[in-house]
A = this chain, B = another copy of it.
């Protein structure tokens, strides 16, 4: 009795765990992407599914990362025939764009994914949850152990909604784990492996402030625009991505808050060391963390009670009774392209090849009082602003302001911003003016029109189809 209690749900191998799940051909398996470019788990599971002879599986992953190229092999072998995700790195995206996958990829958002699970639109048969620490009954977290990655927020929805939940860890701890992010009552099986990920790549190096003067200028304009709009007062809340310009904007916002003596309420999203510093300094009172972007964030969430782990549902689900994103004063987002109606593409590159996805882009844009696109007006000789983006990732009506190094343009529906911005001496143009400015630098780009078959569908956070992505033949 005692012995089996100590063994709990631990399976001898991943193979045994998959067998115990009664996984069948045609079913959906799920993954989360907190291990980012260092994740071994998705690849290990697909390898094992291949060995076990499965076919026709659908992979529902919060994101497909650069390290997930073995997925391409699994598709070629017929093991995987469907993908649902919120983001897809070019390493897999290009293969999809070339028509590799039988079924259309379903792109959702970080909030739309849990919403689809909550409403039953999406279903997970077997969830594979990478945990940096687990006990033998599956009480687990991402905060302890050699592969610690911090928040496990995206996987919380999988644990609640999947029929069968397998926790995979490289750090088995005695029962009961005390810092529990996903509790045992939701977990069916536990697998102990040598390593769930490459620690050096789990926390990717994308999270440094840019040194590029153009990026710094955009960041400065962004911070000044937020202040000009009157948002930098006590209880200010905001989110940025982890790109260099976003981080520079966050740093500038912090500086302005210090100068104004303003104490912010919270910063949310993927959390970086820069935000941790602002928390520790008292510039913000708390962090709402669905994903840690770097080591500093992962270390902080483990020990600072004001650095709070949140589920994907609480972060952004339109099915939730309220969310963090709906409380945001400002969000700073990137774009590959932006249309003159302010609709944004973050899915495809200039050739129409898949190389990204919404992640929390659409969710935060919809929720925040001031949704800002901060991006260089020209990149690789291509203009940012186009008549209509290749792919609509985020509807234009949810974007309030575009900031570039040549000036900014507010969405006409936010005419109320005009006086604030110009009053602060900021360079304000119409989006058409900025478009012309770009085209004077780059020439008018040739209109690319893919006419291949549909390879992916972009599902808006509310569940409606926003756009489709078509095959590109090189």
Contact = CB atoms under 8 A, between A and B. Distances in A.
B306 A185 contact: no
B187 A322 contact: yes
Given A184-B321, A185-B317, A175 B265 contact: yes
Interface string A309-331: 01101100100111110010100
A228 interface: no
Contacts of A137: 322, 327
B323 A185 contact: yes
A308 interface: yes
A180 B156 CA distance: 15
Interface in A158-185: 165, 174-176, 178-180, 183-185
Nearest to A187: B321
A235 B135 CA distance: 13
A369 B2 contact: yes
Contact of A310 (B138, B183, B266, B311): B183
B138 A322 contact: yes
A176 B235 CA distance: 10
A305 interface: yes
Interface in A309-355: 310-311, 313-314, 317, 320-324, 327, 329
Contacts of A313: 185
Interface string A209-220: 000000000000
Given A165-B321, A185-B322, 8 more contacts: A9-B321, A174-B265, A174-B285, A176-B265, A176-B324, A178-B308, A183-B314, A186-B320
28 contacts: A2-B369, A5-B327, A5-B369, A6-B235, A137-B322, A137-B327, A138-B321, A138-B322, A174-B235, A174-B265, A175-B266, A176-B265, A176-B286, A176-B288, A176-B308, A176-B327, A179-B305, A183-B314, A184-B320, A184-B321, A185-B311, A185-B313, A185-B317, A185-B320, A185-B321, A185-B323, A186-B320, A186-B321
Interface of A: 1-2, 5-6, 8-9, 137-138, 165, 174-176, 178-180, 183-188, 235, 265-266, 285-286, 288, 305-306, 308, 310-311, 313-314, 317, 320-324, 327, 329, 369
